[in-house]
Amino acid sequence: MFNKILIANRGEIACRVILTARKMGIKTVAVYSDADKDARHVELADEAVNIGPAPSRDSYLQAEKIIAACKQTGAEAVHPGYGFLSENAGFAKRVEEEGIIFIGPKHYSIAAMGDKIESKKLAGAAGVNCIPGVNDAIETAEKAVEIARGIGYPVMIKASAGGGGKGLRVAFNDKEAFEGFTSCRNEARNSFGDDRVFIEKFVEEPRHIEIQLMGDSHGNVIYLNERECSIQRRHQKVIEEAPSPFISDETRKAMGEQAVQLAKAVNYQSAGTVEFVVGKDQSFYFLEMNTRLQVEHPVTECITGLDLVELMIRVAAGEKLPLTQDQVKREGWAIECRINAEDPFRGFLPSTGRLVRFQPPRETMFASDVEHLYGVRVDTGVQDGGEIPMFYDSMIAKLIVHGTDRNDAIAKMREALNSFVIRGVSSNIPFQAALLAHPKFVAGDFNTGFIAENYAQGFRAEDVPHDDADFLVALAAYVNRRIRARAAGISGQLPGHGVTVGEEYVVIGLGDSGLNTPRPAVVRDYQTLSGSSAVETGDRRYEICSGWHLGGARIRGTVNGQPFAAQVERGVGKNPLAIRIIHNGTRLDAMVLSPRAAELHALMPFKAPPDMSRFVLSPMPGLLAEVSVQVGQKVQAGERVAVIEAMKMENVLFAMADGVVGKVLAAKGESLSVDQPIVEFV
């Protein structure tokens, strides 16, 4: 067994590998860019080596710097994680040539299966069902349009070296094929250093189901059941689960055996995943093979009770697999939600900055620990006060739950999301909560088009209907009563002018909170020590008891005897009186006033926000990669105005109306903040 390994990655996966190595008694070396000098993976590792500037092409994609770090620290092996150089056959070969063990498949297996074009040809030769398409690299956008017409729309345009939704577009017409090809090439070149692109038929209403494999150097390959990954937004997975609620035992066995057959054809060693597109009649087609550990591997670890990172390390050290196919377990139901730094209410645009608060739910399962299952686990590479930089992907954490069955897992996940506090950057937690409550998701009735079909207009606050909206009003009144009690107890108040606390309140919704009319609420039987109250609103009565303290972002307690968890913020936006309540993905922003104060508030004049329709604003923090217009230029609605790069994605801004460019307010290469003006029209 190795004494020391280097993890050629960052963030959550680097921390994940370090935890297993620590369990096995192996010392670890972290590598980091200038942007990651204070990152969690650097703190967790035994040693750390700086490998260059913030952009990944200057640091985490620099193979020679990583090999030099191995030699400098005496690391005998390299774990590449996922992304970056994990599926780069050239890197794996260089590592092997330097006498360092690559904790992953052999370079020839990566070359054969990691390249989507070559893997399609190999799979076809092995008799595996493949989707119709052109598997050779396409040179020009015009040729891409011609090929797309030949196959028949819709088509999928994919970068050969792509992954994680990068370098992938679906085109339904010539215009989309032309533009999609160009964007795919650019993204592939920037993210992977390989701009080859190919086209295949897009199977409509498909399911995305993948088989987890593990092979050793003694010719053994087993499959560790499947993962259902159909809940995707723009081809990036949002929720993954194991097992799939869709396929039968016969289909599972057939897919697993076919995946094993494919792996054996390339002498596959280590963890790998064969992805399939599955039709509604349970017919399945080979899509691609990922020659690395997957982001969603924890759900497989939960249902099998195996530590996949440990198996990878043991296999790389030459050990045999410790189990056979008939010993692979499938127990309970696991779900993973990817918690990303993006704003679901602003078109899921990236959100970067400092994590002012990062308080995950209470964990009862842990990465690298397969003894404690049937609980909640959080895999993350960040911590309270940490930074979400714009140079890398948007993942903050992975939230994993393991239940006795699917309904139990969904209930555990909803409860865990309620307790997950993230402040300073926006996160997709409200969107995850909405998905988990959607009747079709609960029924297991979905395909890869689920999000596009159900949220075609984007995601809005009203897309998260609360099953008991009165509870949010009651909780806001309860929180305000606690705040008033604290204010009334402060010493030194002027006699006759101290804070008085009544029982009657009016809850007034702010913004698009869904509370359109003021709601009366009465808070009775307030107990200072126990924190209990009875709140009456509408025709409902809520007996709330909680030990919440005024500075806490998370409030736990019981309501009518049932446990609950929610989140509280005071002084939202520029309103010091505002209280924000978040529960089951629904957000209520409100002021809680006395009846007289509510009367006076109704008389206050409304100040309209300034008209910004003449400006093209940056919808997110990022780097201004291109300004496509000049002063004096006539621009039509839908015309390209600027391109912003953030978190490895290219975001194109279009003009919303016809106009003439009056001023260009930002220059190419400039770092932009949210809502910063780029172009002004006259």
Give the active site residues.
288
* Cβ neighbours of residue 247 closer than 8 Å, sequence gap 6 or more: 209, 226, 255, 278, 282
Structure token pair of residue 336: 């993973």
Angle of the 174-192 helix axis to the 141-151 helix axis, nearest 10: 120
Q: Is the peptide bond before 344 cis (omega within 30 degrees of 0)?
A: no
Among 221, 445, 399, CA closest to 299: 399
Residues 6+ apart with CB under 8 A from 654: 637, 638, 639, 640, 641
The rounded distance, in Å, linking the Cα atoms of 156 and 208 is 14
> Alpha-carbon distance 645 to 669, whole Å?
10
Token representation of residue 377: 């686990």
- Is 510 within 8 Å of 469 (Cβ atoms)? no
Half-sphere exposure of 271 (CA within 13 A, CB side): 28
**What's the start-to-end Cα distance of the chain, in Å?**
69
- 471, 366, 355: which is closest to 420 by C-alpha? 355
Cα(179)–Cα(142) distance, integer angstroms: 10
Pairing mode, if any, of strands 395-403 and 376-380? antiparallel
Using alpha carbons, select from 46, 51, 44 the residue that is nearest to residue 66: 51
Q: Which residue in 296, 278, 294 sits closest to 286, CA to CA?
A: 278
- Tell me how far apart the alpha carbons of residues 415 and 344 are, in angstroms, rounded to a whole number: 20
* Residue 369 DSSP symbol: B
Strands in 266-418 per DSSP E: 270-278, 284-290, 333-340, 342-343, 349-350, 353-354, 357-359, 376-380, 387-388, 395-403
CA distance 129 to 259: 12
Find tokens 């409200």 and name the residue: 430
Contact 522, 536 (CB under 8 A): yes
Helix (H, G, I), strand (E, B) or coil at 603: coil
- If you search the block for the tokens 């008085």, which residue do you land on? 500
Q: For residue 320, give both structure tokens.
A: 């045999």
